[in-house]
Amino acid sequence: MSTFFSETTWICLAIPTVLCGTVLCKYKKSPRPVPSWMICLAGLCAVCLLILSPFWGLILFSLSCFLMYTYLSGQELLPVDQKAVLVTGGDCGLGHDLCKYLDELGFTVFAGVLNENGPGAAELRRTCSSRLSVLQMDVTNPVQIKDAYSKVVATLQDRGLWAVINNAGVLGFPCDGELIPMTDYKQCMAVNFFGTVEVTKTFLPLLRKSKGRLVNVSSIGGGAPMAKLASYGPTKAAVAMFSSVLRLELSKWGVKVVYIQPGGFRTGIAGTSDEWEKLEKKILEQLPREVQEDYGQDYILAQRNFLHLINSRASTDFSPVLQDIQHAISAKSPFTFYTPGKAAYMWICFASFLPAGIYDYLSERNLGKIGPVPRALSMPNYNKKVT
């Protein structure tokens, strides 16, 4: 009996050991760091080994190793082989660095830019290989998008387009939703959402032929509500839902659809001080007198403190986003969405699962005090008038 138990114990030990070794071998072939959920799963299994009986603990550990092996099997990257990709918003920020990054990896890159004669386009031509082509492509201009499509088809001929990465976007001037002009709401929707849809619809025939990838850059603001982003957040939420719908529809064509929800990165989307001053002036000129009196000029002009705040907290290291996009266009089995950046996934989970009151409290604590309160709220008689 003791001999049988000893043999059973050794078998139970051998199986997870072999599986664990196989998982580690698979991990070495994966270019991405170990996901946090895998670390949590390993810790949970260690706890279960201590709490449960040896037999059931080892069974659970073996199952976990099998699941991780299955997961990592789809994480190996396909060969680049000069696959062609289109990137929008290549003038500056994330799109600019992404074009350079993919060019260094050996992709044939079509960099769509807002101004083909601007400094961003000139730098791409100067620093990248001959595989990179700069295309004039304002994503709100259907004529330019169709012209870019014709140039891509003429350049590639029968090679095919492997991936489209919709990155172009604008932030506008973050402030209370009541203060944001309707023109800013419309501009954000035109660039961030309708631009993404227009580019996608134009280039989808090429992606269907290649059975390639569609990658849409959303934002953490599209998955978790954030104060001051009333014109920006909804457009990015629309991008995420658009991507999810297309994922269902294009699976029969073999096209994989992914969206990225980055956290805080200093991409330049917030604009410059000169642009902020113009937007402040625009807000003050267009606000109804009653609204301007309730909020007060001091409160409105203090909104730029929010831009300083997000810039101070934003990371200048784009590598987590770049690596996730590389994985999205190269992995055998890409994820449906990615959340690169500090605490990005955590805030999306908070917004999805926590009661609204708790989420609002955490959001206010995270934002902190960034300026004065609206003028009317600072007046002692205002609340009495309301009640």
Q: Which amino acid is at 29?
A: K
Q: What angle (nearest 5°) sits at the alpha carbon of residue 170, between those of residues 164 and 173? A: 165
Are 212 and 161 in contact by the 8 Å Cβ rule? The answer is yes
Sheet holding 163-166, edge to edge: 133-136, 108-113, 84-87, 163-166, 213-217, 256-260, 337-338
User: Does residue 359 carry a catalytic annotation?
Assistant: no
Q: How far is CA 45 from CA 65, 86, 127, in A?
A: 10, 43, 49
Residue 216 region by backbone torsions, left for phi larger than 0, else alpha for psi between -120 and 50, else beta = beta
Are 42 and 61 in contact by the 8 Å Cβ rule? The answer is no
Which two tokens mark 191? 């660039």
Look at the chain and count its residues: 387
Report the candidate in 272, 97, 293, 104 with the shortest Cα–Cα distance to residue 173. Answer: 272
Spell out a b/e string for 189-202, using b for 16 or more CB atoms within 10 Å of the CB, else e. Answer: bebbbebbbbbbeb
Report the candidate in 259, 251, 327 with the shortest Cα–Cα distance to residue 80. Answer: 327
Residue of 101, 149, 232, 345 with catalytic role: 232
Q: Which amino acid is at 362?
A: L
Q: Which amino acid is at 366?
A: N
Residues 6+ apart with CB under 8 A from 216: 165, 166, 196, 200, 239, 240, 242, 243, 257, 258, 259, 260
Residue 56 CA neighbour count, 13 Å, CB half: 6
- Euclidean distance between CA atoms 142 and 184, whole angstroms: 20
Residues acting as catalytic residues:
232
